[in-house]
Amino acid sequence: MSSCPALPDGFDFTDPDVYQERVPLPEFALLRETAPVWWNRQPRGVAGFDDEGYWVVTRHADVKEVSTRPELFSSNLNTAVIRFAGHMSRDQIDVQKLIMLNMDPPEHTRVRQIVQRGFTPRAIRALENALRERAERIVREATDRGSGDFVTDIAVELPLQAIAELIGVPQQDRTRIFDWSNKMVAYDDPEYAITEEIGTQSAAELVSYAMTMAEARKECPARYAGDIVSRLVAAEGEGNLNPDEFGFFVILLAVAGNETTRNAISHGMHAFLTHPDQWELFRAARPDTAAEEIVRWATPVVSFQRTATQDTELAGQKISAGERVGLFYSSANNDPEVFEDPHLFDIARDPNPHLGFGGGGPHFCLGKSLAVLEINLIFNAMADLAPGISLAGPGPRRLRSAWLNGIKELRVDYG
């Protein structure tokens, strides 16, 4: 097995305590150079996985290679999230297999083809006006207060609204939906005091709400004709989701579309505040390339994992059937083989083949166009309504998480 003597003994690339302080970029750089596929030892069975660790894949090319070969690297066997010690039992992990992120072809292909109907360029364009109004209202309400926490004032709200808008949740139900969604994430951070029971209970309530939406469409198609839920569930047969499947899809949206976009926006704002020349450039030119650089810079999802279905080799390293392979997007997005001066925040960077939305292949982020739209709308509203924004206080407070690069507080003066 490959070794990397320069890393401290016991260093774990999914240790939430590490991410509470920083993304381990120097450690990733070390691995890219010395052991690009490195065995991260963990005590046996710590995270519900019956093994003694996982491979850390750090180079851009190798993350792409694994992502595009689902027959060799499964999302289903151990699911896609690398968890940290003691976090989940094997049963709880197995329940997660019902969501698309954790399926392999051909099941994945069937579900993905159906849900893709809700994410066509036309469907996303149709949300644009409503979301622009929302973004402007969110920013205006915050700036009226003069100063505050950018994360809760601004970054949290639009991603929640976007998902609610996408699946047509009525206004009066949105507070409840937002509450459940928020309780399902951030379980690693003790500050939120979200116990496993609260998380599970919130997920159950959200599934049940979504299933009720689906049932209503099945019972009375005429009343809801043409809305997105109807397009996914209403007609019988192969080409549609049943109400359970729809319920799990909404759970996935709440997890995959929420904190990811929130953190891209928060990191993006912090990057602009600490790189005033880039904020100047954005305000003056609004380059189309900015949103992609914000996602590369933020890389909100640090890692996902796959499990080898047979003995194989990656970058010269032997991998045995059943071993887990971690795809470290944060490392790939800082790989100097692909990005010139990766440590520079450069909103004009073009091309920008970052892997923040995944390394390609069947699971590539379904919500990418929606996320890019949301990021553009928020920063355009900020540049129009709060161009003089500045940092107040000590800088970002980071989320404690095993796999998200999160900011939970960023104090600002809105100018």
Confirm or reject binding of residue 151 to ligand HEM (CB under 6 A): no
Cα–Cα distance, 220 to 214 (Å, whole number): 10
- Give the residue closest to ligand HEM by C-beta: 367
| Region 364-383 residues binding ligand HEM, contact defined as CB under 6 A | 364-367, 370-371
Closer by beta carbon to ligand HEM, 279 or else 329: 329
Here's the x/- map for ligand HEM, 56-95, by CB under 6 A: it reads as -----------x------------x---------------
Min dist. Cβ of residue 93 to ligand HEM (A)? 16
Strands 53-57 and 324-328: parallel
Q: Which of 47, 101, 232, 302 binds ligand HEM (CB under 6 A)?
A: 101
Min dist. Cβ of residue 378 to ligand HEM (A)? 11
Rg (CA), the chain: 21
Cα–Cα distance, 79 to 70 (Å, whole number): 12
Min dist. Cβ of residue 163 to ligand HEM (A)? 5
- If binding means CB under 6 A, how many residues of this protein chain bind ligand HEM? 30
Looking at beta carbons, which pairs linking 243-247 to residues 24 or more positions away fall under 8 Å?
243/211, 243/214, 243/215, 243/218, 244/98, 244/211, 245/111, 246/210, 246/211, 246/213, 246/214, 247/206, 247/207, 247/208, 247/210, 247/211, 247/214
Cα–Cα distance, 305 to 303 (Å, whole number): 7
Cα–Cα distance, 87 to 376 (Å, whole number): 35
Q: Which of 16, 53, 358, 396 binds ligand HEM (CB under 6 A)?
A: 358
Q: Give the residue among 294, 259, 257, 277 at the shortest CA–CA distance from 379.
A: 294
Beta carbons of 252 and 95 less than 8 angstroms apart = no
Closer by beta carbon to ligand HEM, 112 or else 137: 112
Confirm or reject binding of residue 169 to ligand HEM (CB under 6 A): no
Min dist. Cβ of residue 365 to ligand HEM (A)? 3
Min dist. Cβ of residue 410 to ligand HEM (A)? 17
Q: Give the residue among 34, 95, 80 at the shortest CA–CA distance from 358.
A: 80
Q: Which of 261, 352, 401, 405 binds ligand HEM (CB under 6 A)?
A: 261
Confirm or reject binding of residue 405 to ligand HEM (CB under 6 A): no
Closer by beta carbon to ligand HEM, 143 or else 374: 374
Closer by beta carbon to ligand HEM, 112 or else 286: 112
Confirm or reject binding of residue 184 to ligand HEM (CB under 6 A): no
Strands 411-413 and 147-149: antiparallel
Closer by beta carbon to ligand HEM, 37 or else 163: 163
Closer by beta carbon to ligand HEM, 35 or else 347: 347
Confirm or reject binding of residue 304 to ligand HEM (CB under 6 A): yes
| Region 328-357 residues binding ligand HEM, contact defined as CB under 6 A | 329, 356-357
Determine the interface stretch with ligand HEM among 20-28, 256-264, 310-318, 330-338 (rule: CB under 6 A): 256-264
> What does each C-alpha distance from 258 to 85, 183, 383 come to in angstroms?
24, 12, 23
Min dist. Cβ of residue 112 to ligand HEM (A)? 5
Confirm or reject binding of residue 307 to ligand HEM (CB under 6 A): no
DSSP string, 158-181: HHHHHHHHHHT--GGGHHHHHHHH
Beta carbons of 400 and 188 less than 8 angstroms apart = yes
Cα–Cα distance, 42 to 385 (Å, whole number): 49
Q: Which two tokens stand for residue 299?
A: 């890389």
Min dist. Cβ of residue 181 to ligand HEM (A)? 11
Q: What single DSSP character describes residue 3?
A: -
Q: Which of 247, 257, 342, 396 binds ligand HEM (CB under 6 A)?
A: 257
3-state secondary structure of 390: strand
Determine the interface stretch with ligand HEM among 84-92, 249-257, 310-318, 384-392 (rule: CB under 6 A): 249-257
Determine the interface stretch with ligand HEM among 220-228, 252-260, 279-287, 403-411 (rule: CB under 6 A): 252-260
Residue with tokens 């909103």: 347
Count CB atoms within 10 A of the CB of residue 215. Answer: 13
Binding site for ligand HEM (CB under 6 A): 67, 80, 100-101, 112, 163, 252-253, 256-257, 260-261, 264, 295, 300-301, 304, 329, 356-359, 361, 363-367, 370-371
